[in-house]
Amino acid sequence: MDEFKWAWVLFVAASVAVLVRVALWFLPGPAIRHADRVARAAEPETAETAASELPDAAEPEAVLEDLAWPDDVPETEESWPPLDPGVWDDAAPDDGREPASPPEDYHFRRTRWGMTPAEVREAEGIPALRETPESLVYVTTTLELPCRLTYGFTRDALTRAHLAFSDPDGRDIPPLSMAQAQRRFLFLREQLRRRYGEPVEHSVQVPRDVSALRRRLQKQDELTEQYDAEIAEAEARLRSQRERLQTRYARWQRRDELIARGLAPYERDLRDLKEWKQEALETAAQARRLIQENQAADARTPLVAVLSARWPFAREVQDIELRLDQRRRVPRLEIRYRAARPGMDLPGGMDEL
């Protein structure tokens, strides 16, 4: 009986093995099917389509032109200018097809000067923070820096744009410290310089603030005059009291001791007044020295209150100005764009700040 069971088991195993072998002959495996799909996909590919899959080497100068693009931009829309064909060693074969038209050039982000407010809203693709008939305000980022973006319109045509990187009120974006604003100014200036060339730079210099030192000096001079008058009165009282005590204790045995004891309060007051006058004189001398040092520093390294870098008629379509105003407690850092094409320089209200 046991021999019959083992024979049956061997028969079933042999049958399964035969079925598996037959299935492998007629059914291709997953690896084979995958290899077939890869081969079929590679057959129509040409040198031109292979080159088109390479990522574009966008130069760093182009970074300011595409400030904070929306995330939902279709990948088929090309934002950078086409590469020079000379950079490729092997030219793509001519397959007889019409060349693709070059991508549309944007003046600022994904907008062009002259767009209507509706077209700008569509280009931004996000709700505006505030709207007026002459402006659209957005909160966004530029080069990963928070900023408030304002579009300005003249006769329903886009003519200017403004990027503010510091909000003194902290309502829309955070305020910047002086060191942060200076670092970001240098960073933005370098990016714009790479994109548009060397700027026209200008700075407004101001003398160092010595008004507090001048007030201190004036106060100490006034105190010195008051101390002089009080010292004169204290000396007169001391002389009068000495004469009175000398007369009172003229026949006393401990005359000198009694007179010195009676004059001690007057002498102490006179001594205190002289010490206070000396302190006032030293404070006034220190204030004068600091004023002179600040004046010398103004002549040697003057303070810069406003820094600006301008690119007039950049690429013959717009004027650009980068400006850092350090005259307030919270500095203001901003970039202004203004249409400069013929026919777009419309009168009235071009500068919103």
pLDDT digits (tens, 9 = 90+) for 133-149: 899 999 998 889 999 99
Domain extents in the chain: 2-44, 60-207+303-339, 211-300
Kindly state the DSSP code that residue 16 receives in the 8-state scheme: H
> In the chain, where do the E strands start and end?
130-132, 135-142, 145-154, 157-164, 200-206, 303-314, 318-325, 332-339
Mean pLDDT across the stretch 298-317? 87
Task: Place 17 in a pLDDT band, splitting at 50, 70 and 90.
Answer: confident
Task: Place 61 in a pLDDT band, splitting at 50, 70 and 90.
Answer: very low
As a whole number, the mean pLDDT across the chain is 76
- Give which of 167, 347, 317 is closest to 337, Cα–Cα: 317
Order of strands, edge to edge, in the sheet holding 200-206? 130-132, 135-142, 145-154, 157-164, 332-339, 318-325, 303-314, 200-206
pLDDT digits (tens, 9 = 90+) for 217-276: 999 999 999 999 999 999 999 999 999 999 999 888 888 999 999 999 999 999 999 999
